[in-house]
Amino acid sequence: MTVEMSATNSAIPGSDLTVVAQALHEEVAGSGLVPPAETGPTAHRLAALARIYGNAPFVPLEQARHELGVDRAGFERLLELFTRIPALRAAVENGPSGRYWTNTVLGLERAGVFDAVLARKPTFPHLVGLYPGPTCMFRCHFCVRVTGARYQASSLAGGNEMFASVIDEVPAGNRDAMYVSGGLEPLTNPGLGALVSRAAGRGFRIVLYTNSFALTEQKLKGEQGLWDLHAIRTSLYGLTDEEYQATTGKQGSFTRVRANLARFQQLRAEREAPIRLGLSYIVLPGRAGRLSALVDFIAELNEAAPDRPLDYINLREDYSGRPDGKLSPDERAELQDELNRFREKAAQRTPTLHVDYGYALHSLMMGTDVQLVRIRPETMRPTAHPQVSVQVDLLGDVYLYREAAFPGLAGADRYRIGTVGPDTTLTEVVETFVTSGATVTPQAEDEYFLDGFDQAVTARLNQMETDIADGWGERRGFLR
């Protein structure tokens, strides 16, 4: 077994640490950092370290050091060696929890935004969520939205002017600095196409998160700017009208979404439009067995435009952590089988489809059931992380967490840090919040305002803060 192969395996449960460590011997011996007699134990500890961080990315360094039973000098040496052996880094990134590293942490590290948060530097948010939808045609049972809550149609004109000013304000350089989502359904805003064109004109790649109920041919004709999107990611709520109705409360909605997506595929093929099309599918309780039908659905969509098949799908578990979204242990075992069947079938029927299994499902497929990061009110950060991301709704209100920006949501106004308007820029809103030293004291159930991204960011910041307090400032956060 090569160093690369065996070390890359070291974060996989069941892989033999001794075998992995043996493969590392040569590299450790060649480093000159450890005496020959220490080579074996050091290689073993390096493999164990990869296993720890491949499974639990947000462990503080002191905790890892205690688990390995080494003193601080020895641990420092281990960390130094770790950085010199690329296969170990790959092992962490490919571990059961590797998606936390690759999907979220490492990109933000490269941008330096975690350091800005900890230093309380008022930088412009790295990611800005634009939530332009005044309403939504669905009533999803898991949606936090207050039934019937919407923004007044009279807010649209002023709201769209405000969004245009935010788009103009976002610094160039990070092409993925903005996305369009909700809140409510973005396509219910008739000015969306113009906003997308404006952003694309400045070089931004905008991804639209939508339920695609309103993504009709007529809409696409009337709002040509939608063709300037970088990608459309459709949340799929079932695979039959009955499933859709059970989830969204709307009759016949699957038939319509399917028709919209198929037509969209034909239109983008005809126009040779570079826009990407993806799906997001949450495996709800009772629906693990539907994954095979999901491949059939995608294959059927692809028949609408064989030369432009669907680009990607993101499979997710319900990330909210609410008890009614949880799968039973039996169903989790079933889900593991179904996911592997899905992978095989997708490779055959939809070979070009990119599948992202997210933090949790990726680990489940690898045979572990790692605990998802779960932030609680006591581990929420009173200063949050506006330098990493904020969300702006149709009224210009700026929210700290992704699930807080819904109209009329009880308690969410505590996470509103200001309002963008004719006399106030987003830069000023964030700057005022950060420099004033304002804090939000979390209350019970506030953790539901955080989505999976917010949770990972919070866990990372807490970890870094602990490492720094423990005297590991130079090494804080393990990988970066």
Q: Could you list the residues that contact ligand SF4 (CB under 6 A)?
A: 136, 138-140, 143, 145, 182, 184-185, 211, 248
Supply the DSSP string of 367-412, one letter for each residue. Answer: T--PPPP---GGGS-TT--TTTEEEEETT-EEESSTTT-STT-TTG
Measured from the CB of residue 145, what is the shortest distance to ligand SF4 in angstroms? Answer: 5
Nearer to ligand SF4, 138 or 399 (CB): 138
Q: Is 20 exposed, middle or buried (0-12, 13-18, 19+ CB in 10 A)?
A: buried
Measured from the CB of residue 139, what is the shortest distance to ligand SF4 in angstroms? Answer: 5
Nearer to ligand SF4, 17 or 140 (CB): 140
The pairs formed by 25-28 with CB atoms below 8 angstroms and a separation of 24 or more are 27/3, 27/84, 27/85, 28/81
Measured from the CB of residue 149, what is the shortest distance to ligand SF4 in angstroms? Answer: 10
Measured from the CB of residue 292, what is the shortest distance to ligand SF4 in angstroms? Answer: 25
Q: From residue 135, give the alpha-carbon distance in Å to each of 148, 183, 226, 329, 451.
A: 9, 9, 19, 36, 21
Nearer to ligand SF4, 128 or 257 (CB): 257
Q: From residue 295, give the alpha-carbon distance in Å to each of 232, 235, 301.
A: 19, 15, 10
Measured from the CB of residue 184, what is the shortest distance to ligand SF4 in angstroms? Answer: 5
Answer whether 479's CB lies under 8 Å from 460's CB: no
CA-CA distance, 81 to 32, in Å (whole number)?
Answer: 10
Burial 147-169 (b: 16+ CB within 10 A, else e): eeebbeeebbeebbebbebbbee
Measured from the CB of residue 11, what is the shortest distance to ligand SF4 in angstroms? Answer: 34
What lies within 8 Å, CB to CB, of 41 at 6+ separation is: none
Bridge-based pairing state of the strands 354-356 and 389-393: unpaired
Nearer to ligand SF4, 81 or 143 (CB): 143
Measured from the CB of residue 136, what is the shortest distance to ligand SF4 in angstroms? Answer: 3
Measured from the CB of residue 135, what is the shortest distance to ligand SF4 in angstroms? Answer: 9
Nearer to ligand SF4, 84 or 139 (CB): 139
Measured from the CB of residue 146, what is the shortest distance to ligand SF4 in angstroms? Answer: 10
Query: DSSP label at 102?
Result: I
Q: From residue 5, give the alpha-carbon distance in Å to each of 9, 88, 479.
A: 6, 10, 20
Torsion sign across C-alpha atoms 187, 191, 194, 200 = negative
Nearer to ligand SF4, 185 or 317 (CB): 185
Nearer to ligand SF4, 185 or 446 (CB): 185
Nearer to ligand SF4, 252 or 473 (CB): 252
Answer whether 34's CB lies under 8 Å from 57's CB: no
Nearer to ligand SF4, 123 or 247 (CB): 247
Nearer to ligand SF4, 95 or 182 (CB): 182
Measured from the CB of residue 378, what is the shortest distance to ligand SF4 in angstroms? Answer: 28
Neighbours of 267 (CB within 10 A): 18
In this structure, the dihedral spanned by the alpha carbons of residues 414, 420, 426 and 431, taken in order and rounded to 10 degrees, is -50
